[in-house]
Chain A
Amino acid sequence: QKEVEQNSGPLSVPEGAIASLNCTYSDRVSQSFFWYRQYSGKSPELIMSIYSNGDKEDGRFTAQLNKASQYVSLLIRDSQPSDSATYLCAVGGTASKLTFGTGTRLQVTL
């Protein structure tokens, strides 16, 4: 069974710091990787997608992928209180489906 693992948190970081969120996956043939942000009571919204090994940057967000280690991470620079949310890691394989982790709750403190 395909699994996506995340630390549930909460991960607490001070405002302005770098938040580092991690995710591991079990299916070696996974081809696409996503980070979604979910505010309490709301639906998930896509932040980043990454398909190749290495780093991908978009504004304050950087996604990192290491397929050999089956590891994907999300870095949030200059964390803001508005970044406080649950971050979901999702992994896609050969079929048109995504498997989600249970999410890491991030708290950015003032």
Chain B
Amino acid sequence: SQTIHQWPATLVQPVGSPLSLECTVEGTSNPNLYWYRQAAGRGLQLLFYSVGIGQISSEVPQNLSASRPQDRQFILSSKKLLLSDSGFYLCAWRPLQGAGNTIYFGEGSWLTVV
């Protein structure tokens, strides 16, 4: 069966510090991968998605970046965090084959920028 893992689960970072969140998917090949952010009291905002190794699409301008160095690995990064980067970050995946656009989420990472 397919599983998705995301880490770290929580982190508190000072303004201006770097960020690295990592996500891996097991039990599938060539999935679509996504990074979403959910700010307090707000909906899910798509940040990045990837259809393959090295292929990244950015949905919103921001100081975040994403990379996909391996087929089932997706990384969210920042060189200098802002207070507004605080939120709940969710990695998600979509199987290459299957019904519609169903996506499945990882456990999420809570980021607090102080």
| A interface list, Cβ under 8 A from B | 31-32, 34, 42-46, 49, 51, 88, 92, 96-103
Check B100 against A31 for contact (C-beta < 8 Å). yes
Q: Interface size class for chain B?
A: 20 to 34
With A96-B49, A96-B94 as given contacts, are A44 and B44 in contact (CB-CB < 8 Å)? yes
Instruction: Select from chain A the residue with minimum beta-carbon distance to B106.
Output: A43
User: When the two chains form their complex, are residues B43 and A103 in contact, meaning their CB atoms are under 8 A apart?
Assistant: yes
Known: A96-B32, A96-B94, A101-B43. A32 touches B101 (CB 8 A): yes
Whether A46 and B104, one on each chain, are in contact in the complex, defined by CB atoms closer than 8 angstroms, is yes
Residues of chain A within 8 A (CB-CB) of B51 are: 96
Contacts of A51 in B (CB 8 A): 99-100
- Structural contact, A34 and B102, CB atoms closer than 8 A: yes
B93 to chain A, nearest CB (A): 11
Closest Cβ of chain B: how far from A91's Cβ, in Å? 9
Residues of B within 8 A of A (CB): 32, 34, 36, 42-44, 46, 49, 51, 59, 90, 94, 99-108
Chain B residues closer than 8 Å to A43, beta-carbon distance: 90, 105-108
With A96-B49, A102-B42 already in contact, the answer to whether A45 and B105 are too (CB < 8 A) is: yes
Closest CB in chain A relative to B62 CB, distance in Å:
17
A43-B102 Cα distance, complex, nearest whole Å: 15
Question: In the complex where A100-B44, A102-B43 touch, is A44 in contact with B100 (Cβ < 8 A)?
Answer: no
In angstroms, Cα B44 to Cα A88, docked, is: 9
- Contacts A43-B106, A43-B107, A43-B108 given; indicate if A96 touches B101 (C-beta within 8 A): yes
Residues of B near A92 (CB, < 8 A) are 100-101
In angstroms, how far is the closest chain A Cβ from the Cβ of B9? Answer: 11
CA distance A96 to B49 in the complex (A): 9
CB distance from B21 to the nearest CB of A (A): 13
**Within 8 Å CB of B44, what residues of A?**
44, 88, 100
Q: Is the CB of B102 within 8 A of A100?
A: no
Contact residues in B for A49 (Cβ distance below 8 Å): 99-100, 102
